[in-house]
A and B are shown apart, each in its own frame.
Chain A
Amino acid sequence: MKYFRMVWRNVFRKKLRTGLTASSIVIVLTLIVILASLLQAMQADPSGGRGANRLVVQHATGLGNFLPLSQRQRIEQIPGVVAVSPETWFGGVYKDDKPENWIGQLSADPDIYFDKIFDDATIDPAVNEEWKKTRNGFVAGQKIAEKHKWKKGDHIILKGTYIPLNLDLVYIGSYNAGDETNIFFHNEYLNQSDWILANKVTGIYYIKIDSGENVPRVAATIDKMFENSDAPTKTLTEKQFQLQFMEMMGNVKFLINGISLIIIFAVTLIVANTVAMSARERVTEIAVMRTLGFGRGHILGFILSESVLMSLLGGVLGILLAKFVFIPALVAGGNKTSISIWLVNFKVSPETLALAFVVSVGVGILAGFVPAINSSRLRIVDGLRKVV
Chain B
Amino acid sequence: MAEPLIRIENVEKIYRRDQIEIPVLMGINLDIPEGEYVALMGPSGSGKTTLLNLIAGIDQPTRGRIMIGGRDIATMKQTELAKWRSHTIGFIFQLYNLLPVLTAFENVELPLLLTPLKKAERKRHVETALSIVGLGDRMSHYPRQLSGGQEQRVAIARAIVSDPKILVADEPTGDLDARSGDEILELLRRLNEEFGKTVVMVTHDPKAAARAHRMVHLDKGVLHTDELTEAGVGRRS
Query: Do A2 and B99 contact each other (CB < 8 Å), given the known contacts A292-B86, A295-B78, A381-B53?
Result: no
**Shortest beta-carbon distance from A310 to chain B in Å:** 15
A288 close to chain B: CB less than 8 A: yes
Report whether B79 and A295 are in contact in the complex, using a CB–CB cutoff of 8 Å: yes
B94 at interface (Cβ–Cβ under 8 A)?
yes
Q: Which residue in chain B gives the minimum CB-CB distance to A7?
A: B101
| Set A6, A293, A295, A380: member contacting B87, Cβ < 8 A | A293
How far is the CB of A376 from the nearest CB of chain B, in Å? Answer: 10
Given contacts A381-B53, A384-B58, contact A292 B99 (CB under 8 A): no
- Is the beta-carbon distance between A284 and B101 smaller than 8 angstroms? no
Which of the residues A294, A381, A384 comes within 8 Å of B82, measured between beta carbons? Answer: A294
Q: Whole-angstrom distance from the CB of B42 to the nearest CB of chain A?
A: 15
- Interface flags, A261-301, vs B, CB<8A=1, else 0: 00000000000000000000000110011111111100000
Instruction: Say yes or no: B113 contacts A3, CB within 8 Å.
Output: yes
Contacts of B111 in A (CB 8 A): 292-293
A2 to B158 CA separation, bound complex (whole angstroms): 17
With contacts A296-B78, A381-B53 taken as known, whether A291 is within 8 angstroms of B58 at the C-beta atoms is: yes
Q: Give the contacting residue for A290; candidates B58, B94, B102, B119; CB below 8 A.
A: B58
**Measured between alpha carbons, how far is A388 from B44 in the docked complex, in Å?**
12
Do A380 and B93 touch (CB < 8 A)? Answer: no
Produce 1/0 per residue, A343-387, CB < 8 A to B.
000000000000000000000000000000000000011001001
Q: Is B5 an interface residue (CB 8 A)?
A: no
Closest B residue, CB atoms, query A8: B101
Complexed CA–CA distance, A285 and B95 (Å): 11
When distances are taken between beta carbons in the complex, the residues of chain A under 8 Å from B91 are 288, 291-292
Does residue A43 face the partner (Cβ distance < 8 Å to B)? no
Question: Is the Cβ of B78 less than 8 Å from the Cβ of A291?
Answer: no
Chain B 77-117, CB within 8 Å of chain A: the 1/0 string?
Answer: 01100110111000101110101111000100011011000
Residue A5 contacts which of B85, B95, B106, B158 (CB distance < 8 angstroms)?
B106
Give chain A residues whose Cβ lies under 8 Å from the Cβ of B193. none
- A98 in contact (CB, < 8 A): no
Q: Does B56 contact A (CB under 8 A)?
A: yes
Instruction: Write out the residue numbers on chain A whose beta carbons fall within 8 Å of the beta carbon of B95.
Output: 387-388
Residue of B nearest to A13 (CB): B101
Chain B neighbourhood of A6, CB < 8 A: 99, 101-102, 106
Q: Tell me whether A9 is interfacial, beta carbon within 8 Å.
A: yes
- Is A10 in contact with chain B by the CB < 8 A criterion? yes
- CB contact under 8 A between A9 and B110, given known A288-B93, A291-B58, A291-B91: no
Please, which residues of chain A bring their CB within 8 A of the CB of B97? 284-285, 288, 387
Does chain A have a CB within 8 A of B3?
no
Q: Tell me the complex Cα distance, A288–B102, Å.
A: 14
Give min CB distance, A301 to chain B, whole Å.
12
Q: Which residue of A lies closest to B15 (CB)?
A: A381
In whole Å, how far is B56's beta carbon from the nearest beta carbon of chain A? 7
Q: Does B121 contact A (CB under 8 A)?
A: no
**Contact of B101 with A380 in the complex, beta carbons under 8 Å:** no
Which B-chain residue is minimally distant from A297 (CB atoms)?
Answer: B79
Contact of A285 among B99, B113, B119 (CB under 8 A): B99
Residues of B within 8 A of A290 (CB): 58, 82
What is the 8 Å Cβ interface bit string for chain A, positions 157-169, against chain B (1 contact, 0 not)?
A: 0000000000000
Take A290-B58, A293-B85, A295-B78 as given contacts and tell me if A10 and B101 are in contact as well, using a CB distance cutoff of 8 Å.
yes
Chain B residues packing against A (C-beta within 8 Å): 53, 56, 58-59, 78-79, 82-83, 85-87, 91, 93-95, 97, 99-102, 106, 110-111, 113-114, 119, 158
Supplied contacts A5-B106, A288-B91, A293-B111, 7 more A-B pairs, CB within 8 Å: A290-B58, A292-B110, A292-B114, A293-B85, A293-B87, A295-B79, A384-B93
Q: Which 4 A-B pairs have the closest CB atoms?
A: A293-B86, A9-B101, A380-B58, A295-B82
